[in-house]
């Protein structure tokens, strides 16, 4: 793997609760401190995408953090922890006007769409997570385009900023969904357990669930800059269970 691959972590709810979608605030803080002490530089998701677009290495080993679903505890709990450490974040938001609940979510309260502008003004990058948080591969072409294009339009209207990056709901995508995402966004992110290599498909980019860092072995390997073998084994086990999305194409 050439260059400096970036470790992109996925978080959901920052609160006590059952794993893997809940992570306590002190665990988030400890993970960020571990990454920094290991010599990884916190960078924005946009910086990683730009390096891929320009086919350039990141100058240093780096990490980025993303939060799916836009739970209220992101603003109340996670963001102050991030700001104290100077760590940028991307918040992937579902664009549904019905904020009472999230399909396949944790049941925790969601942020109101009207709150996105204030978060964007504090430096949070707003990304898209469809409108309805459903399996995009199960949709017809018209419904798929609506989830992607109208979802982006709704979020941009509320955030007052461009929304250029997508996280596939539930991590699920296929060639048709990937092609549709490429017509609307600069990048699209999966739930594949890998670091982001220098040359990668920008519409099938991997992220590592932060819950994986519960493993002392993985934390030690991250500190040593050698997590790839461990992640490879975990991908293999997930494929056996049918829970690992297909691997995105790596550009040549």
pLDDT tens digit sequence for 63-109: 999 999 999 999 999 999 999 999 999 999 999 998 887 888 888 99
pLDDT of residue 120: 98
Domains of the chain by start residue, with CATH: 7-241 (3.20.20.370)
Tell me how far CA of residue 41 lies from CA of 38, 47, 65, 152, 185, in angstroms: 9, 12, 11, 29, 25
The answer to whether 1 and 197 are in contact (CB under 8 A) is: yes
Q: Which residue has the higher pLDDT, 247 or 185?
A: 185
pLDDT tens, position by position, 18-50: 988 999 999 999 999 999 999 999 999 999 999
Question: Has residue 243 got a pLDDT over 70?
Answer: no
Q: Count of CB atoms within 10 A of residue 215's CB?
A: 14
Res 198: pLDDT: 82
Q: How confident is the model at residue 245 (pLDDT cuts 50, 70, 90)?
A: low
- The pLDDT mean for the chain works out to 92
Q: What is the pLDDT of residue 23?
A: 96
> Tokens standing for 121?
């003004």
Helices (H), the chain: 25-37, 45-53, 72-73, 79-85, 116-121, 141-145, 151-159, 175-182, 216-224, 228-241
As given in the structure block, the two tokens for residue 131 are 């409108």
pLDDT at 102: 85
- The fraction of the chain above a pLDDT of 90, given in percent, is 75
pLDDT digits 0-9 by tens, 102-151? 888 888 999 999 999 999 999 999 999 999 999 999 999 999 999 999 99
- Three-class SS of residue 22? strand
pLDDT top residue among 241 and 95: 95
**What is the pLDDT confidence band of residue 252, given thresholds at 50, 70 and 90?**
very low
């Amino acid at each position: 793997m050439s260059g400096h691959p970036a470790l992109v972590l996925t978080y959901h709810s920052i609160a006590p609760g059952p794993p893997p979608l809940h992570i306590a605030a002190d665990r988030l803080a400890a993970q960020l401190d571990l990454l920094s002490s290991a010599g990884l530089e916190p960078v924005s998701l946009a910086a990683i995408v730009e390096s891929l677009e320009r086919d350039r290495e990141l100058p240093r080993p780096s990490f980025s953090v993303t939060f799916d679903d836009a739970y209220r505890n992101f603003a109340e709990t996670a963001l102050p922890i991030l700001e104290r450490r100077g760590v940028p974040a991307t918040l992937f938001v579902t664009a549904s006007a019905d904020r009472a609940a999230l399909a396949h979510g944790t049941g925790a309260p969601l942020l109101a769409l009207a709150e996105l502008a204030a978060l964007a003004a504090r430096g949070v990058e707003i990304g898209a997570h469809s409108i309805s948080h459903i399996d995009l591969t199960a949709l017809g072409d018209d419904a798929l385009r609506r989830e992607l294009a109208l979802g982006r339009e709704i979020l941009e209207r509320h955030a007052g900023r461009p929304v250029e990056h997508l996280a596939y709901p539930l991590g699920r995508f296929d060639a048709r969904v990937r092609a549709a995402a490429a017509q609307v966004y600069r990048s699209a992110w999966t739930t594949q357990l890998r670091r982001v290599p220098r040359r990668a498909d920008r519409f099938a980019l991997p992220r590592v669930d932060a819950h994986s860092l519960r493993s002392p072995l993985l934390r030690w390997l991250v500190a040593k800059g050698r997590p790839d073998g461990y992640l490879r084994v975990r991908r293999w086990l997930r494929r056996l269970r049918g829970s690992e999305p297909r691997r995105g194409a790596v550009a040549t």
